[in-house]
Structure 1
Amino acid sequence: MSSHGLRIAFFGASLVSAWWNGAAMYYRGLLKALHARGHRITFYEPALPERQARRDLPVAPDFATVVMYSTEGTAGLERCLEDARGADVVVKASNVGLRDAWLDARVLELKSATTQVVYWDLDAPVSLERMAGNPEDPFLALVPRYDRVFTQGGGDPVVLAYRDFGARECIPVYSAVDPEVHRPESVDARFDCDLAFLDDRWPDLERRMESFLMRAADLLPDKRFLLAGEGWGERARPANVRYVGPVAPREHNALRTSARSVLDVSRDGMARFGFSPAPRFFEAAAAGACLITDAWEGIELFLEPGRECLVAQDGLEVAEAVLCLTDDGVRQLGEAARRRVLAEHTYAHRALQVEQALGYEPGPGALKASVG
């Protein structure tokens, strides 16, 4: 073990492309913060043609070495596994998008007295409901074999559920913000509206988007609503909902700064478990947006309702919030939300938490926790 930080091998969906990859900003923020603390990261991702054709990072980031493996056969992935052997920490993220079940099992072969293997679940409520509903799920037998499970959210409900499935340890590592990336920007007329919603069209999000955004738009025909993200183009919508298509990550700040208010809605499973704010929740706050969010358990741990964000139970309450917001209210809510996330919810905060969970302490003999 070097005193210069951990060698981390990370198998994930993509670090260079955010296309249908909601975890991209989470990966980037967290790994950048870990790199800043002296850790060396190699990120292994499948060279999926559609994703690579839509890269939003044309050049690999300087905080990680990116290794792409072929989607044909397993030879390329086998070479990556061999390359990862001997790392201090091997991470297998959920939803890589290629041979996930195969890779879930194979990374465990890299465990040793000096290598801990971590499963990082970016969709914990969905995973837990899947395992609870299928006693033959192959992942059930693997859970107890990982040294620990990290999740992108979940709080006590997810921690307890994973422990019930035999996890040795389960630690939520929530999304956060990178102050260098997520910040207020100049107003852009393309995104001018009373309420904006930015997310991709996932099956377990669509029903909730309907009940919050579309319902509010129906109730307020004189207000202007904006819908952004992949996949919504053919979706029926009220005349006052303007669809602008997918928006590149570099333009997310401008959208959030330009909209009078921004709606964040949890996916079905996340809302049922609570404690699972998505990256966009924090990113909107960091941009100084006036944030209207659906109600979920644990929100007050991140933003204070009524002072740092507004909480709506349904589309009617979204409409009421849009209707009642004053210019001063919009500004005060956005400024308060930004102050809170910069003080408590940056990826620098999360990197410290990851180090502690891994048993890492800077200096000689840095990995204190036992593995195996």
Structure 2
Amino acid sequence: MKIAFYGSSLLSSYWNGAATYYRGLLRALAALDYEITFYEPDVYDRQKHPDMAPPPWCRVVVYEATVEALKEIAAEAARADIVVKASGVGFEDDRLLKEVMAAAGPDAIKVFWDVDAPATLAQLKEEPDHPLRQALGALDLVLTYGGGDPVVAAYRDFGARRCIPIYNALDPTTHFPVAPDPAFACDLAFLGNRLPDRESRVEAFFLEPAAQCTEQRFLLGGSGWHDKAVPANVRYLGHVPTGQHNAFNATPKAVLNISRTSMAETGFSPATRVFEAAGAGACLITDYWEGIELFLQPDEEVLVARDGRDVSEILRSLSRDDASRIGRNALRRVLSAHTYTHRAKEADRLFREFRSFGAVEAAE
């Protein structure tokens, strides 16, 4: 089947946290004989910071950020069996949704794929006339990369016919254990862009522990932190391309996952970083969020902190041997149950059931 996928960017992870998710999932779907075209706008300087060449398993179309170009690429949806509009494309999202779904053929499966469900649902709640809220009843599927039952129920309340999480996962062809790199040597590393929905939690879970654990070394990666005041034992790297993520994760004694506030409150929303770190065999410390045990077992495969004090205590008591053991356990778990091959099979089943029965409800 042919998929027309309209998303933020496949070629660049620059200010684009969904890149890993798109890459892993679409590569795995291509292995299941899907023919995929990914459409991404030239915005936010992403095309100036590519960290992936156009892949053999997916045709990538980069279009200018103009309404005329948007209409041209939206018209190509008419040739697809599955038409996907993702959240957060970054240019005229509402117009893109309208144009793409209008162009989709009558037999095409029409999908909204939400890579930031808490933020999207907050918008729908605040804006009863939001274009997506008005369009939900005409879409066949809403797929999300996290959220669990609360997100599913919220989308159904807003009129979605069916909402199903297709969670983040590991692509073992791109994220795997590597030799340590002295450039990333430290006791605790955190990688994440500076966002309003995350900054206070980064202060609490990363910067405050750094100030308390002056004998330990901390590493901060991600865009936007250059003018942030940090303790003297924190080294700032800036944007870390995906090609360096394995070394970034495999080298420190531990790496930290800090969920954005909305993700933590929603629960059941593991970030791509969780699986990237586990795939590299890293010892992961994560802030608490409901549902984590569905993905990694606390204390055995991941260490869970409810606040910055917990992070400090974990760091002071964590030995290199224990960190290595937890990292190995996490790697085994994600390889056995949480790869993008697993997720692609879930999506493939949904698509094929829909095609076979002609209605999403028939898959229930």
TM range (shorter): over 0.9
Aligned ranges for residues 91-106 of structure 1 at < 5 Å?
Answer: 91-106=84-99
Superposed displacement of residue 22, structure 1: 0.5
Give 1:185-334 correspondences, 5 Å limit.
185-334=178-327
Number of aligned positions between the proteins? 360
Any conservation in 1 of the 2:280–2:331 contact (CA below 8 Å)? yes
Structure 2 Cα separation of the partners of residues 207 and 319 of structure 1 = 17
Q: Following TM superposition, by how much is the alpha carbon of 1:110 offset from its aligned partner in structure 2, in angstroms?
A: 3.2
TM-score normalised by L of structure 1: 0.94
The equivalent of 2:82 in structure 1 is: 89
Asked if the contact 2:192–2:221 (Cα under 8 Å) also holds between the matched residues in 1, the reply is: yes
Matched, 1:345 2:333: no
Match among 42, 47, 60 for residue 42 of structure 2: 47
1:15 correspondence with 2:10: yes
Cα distance between partner residues in 1 of 2:216 and 2:350: 47
Cα distance in 2 between the residues matched to 1:282 and 1:169: 26
Say if 2:143 is the partner of 1:150.
yes
- Asked if residue 370 in structure 1 is aligned to residue 363 in structure 2, the reply is no
Q: Choose from 49, 62, 87 the match for 1:68.
A: 62
After TM superposition, give the deviation of residue 190 of structure 1 in Å. 0.8
Structure 1 residue 31: deviation in Å?
0.4
Cα offsets for 1:169-213 (capped at 9, x unmatched): 001011111111110111111110000000111110111111100
Structure 1 residue 369: Cα displacement: 3.6
Query: Partner residue of 1:363?
Result: none
Partner of 1:321: helix, strand, or coil? helix
Task: Report the CA distance between 1:103 and its aligned residue.
Answer: 1.1
Structure 2-normalised TM-score?
A: 0.96
Deviation at 1:311, TM superposition (A): 0.2
Deviating runs (4+, > 6 A) in structure 1? none
Q: Say if 1:256 and 1:284, in contact at 8 Å, map to a contact too.
A: yes
Q: Residues 215 and 349 of structure 1: is their aligned pair in 2 closer, same or farther, counting only changes over 3 Å?
A: same
Shift of 1:371: 4.9
Q: 2: distance between equivalents of 1:131 and 1:246?
A: 32
Contact (CA 8 Å) 1:33, 1:348: kept in 2 or not? Answer: yes
Inter-partner Cα distance in structure 1 for 2:88 and 2:357 = 28
Aligned residue in 2 for 1:132: 125
**In the alignment, residue 67 of structure 1 is paired with which amino acid?**
V
- Asked whether 1:77 is paired with 2:66, we answer no
Measured in 2, the distance between the counterparts of 1:279 and 1:261 equals 17
* 1:104-130 superposed Cα distances (whole Å, 9 cap, x missing partner): 222221344420110000000111112
**Which of these residues, 19, 22, 26, is aligned with residue 21 of structure 2?**
26
Whether the 8 Å contact between 2:74 and 2:96 is mirrored in structure 1 is: no
Where 1:48 maps in the other structure, the secondary structure is coil
Q: Distance in 1 between matches of 2:160 and 2:318?
A: 45
How well do the aligned residues superpose, as a CA RMSD in angstroms?
1.3
Partner-residue secondary structure (3-state), 1:161? helix
What is the alpha-carbon distance in structure 2 between the residues aligned to residue 89 and residue 230 of structure 1? 34
The answer to whether the 8 A contact 1:173-1:353 is kept is yes
Q: Which range is displaced more, 229-238 or 75-84?
A: 75-84
Aligned residue for 1:120, secondary structure, equals strand
- Between the aligned residues of both structures, percent identity stands at 48
Q: Distance in 2 between matches of 1:305 and 1:7?
A: 40
